[in-house]
Amino acid sequence: DIQMTQSPSTLSASVGDRVTITCRASQSISRFLAWFQQKPGKAPKLLIYKVSNLESGVPVRFSGSGSGTEFTLTISSLQPDDFATYYCQQHNSYPWTFGQGTNVEIK
């Protein structure tokens, strides 16, 4: 199985900060990498698919980059609505696997 490792596990930041979350795969997953946002008690929401493609309706302050085994999610200017947990997920091969999550909290 492909292991997905996110860092950091928790990130404390302020409104307006630039935030970067890293996701590392245990083997190459080409560009089959998605990012999700989840708020407490809610279902995950797709933000970015295939590394860098913004899902419809997602603000442009979110961006993704990377290839192979190293990927990043960047929020260019953190907004109050962005405090949540973020997950990366590979869909290169089954079983699909998620990172353990990064909790973005208010500093």
Partner 1 sequence: EVQLVESGGTLVQPGGSLRLSCAASGFIFGSYGMNWVRQSPGMGLEWISYISNSGSTIYDVDSVRGRLTISRDNAKNSLYLQMNNLRDEDTAVYYCAREGSSGSLDHWGQGTRVTVSS
Q: Does 3 bind partner 1 (CB under 8 A)?
A: no
Binding pattern to partner 1, positions 30-69, x when CB under 8 A? Answer: --x-x-x-x---xxxxx--xx--x-x--------------
As a whole number of Å, the CA-based R_g of the chain is 13
Q: What is the DSSP letter of 96?
A: P
Nearer to partner 1, 24 or 45 (CB): 45
Long-range contacts of 93-96 (CB under 8 A, 24+ apart): 93/2, 93/29, 95/1
Q: Give the shortest CB-83-to-partner 1 separation in angstroms.
A: 18
Tokens of 25: 């795969």
Nearer to partner 1, 33 or 75 (CB): 33
Nearer to partner 1, 10 or 100 (CB): 100
CB 99 within 8 A of CB 88: yes
Nearer to partner 1, 16 or 42 (CB): 42
80 sits in the region (left: phi over 0; alpha: psi -120 to 50; else beta) called alpha
Provide the binding-site residues for partner 1, judged by CB under 8 A. Answer: 32, 34, 36, 38, 42-46, 49-50, 53, 55, 87, 89, 91, 94-101
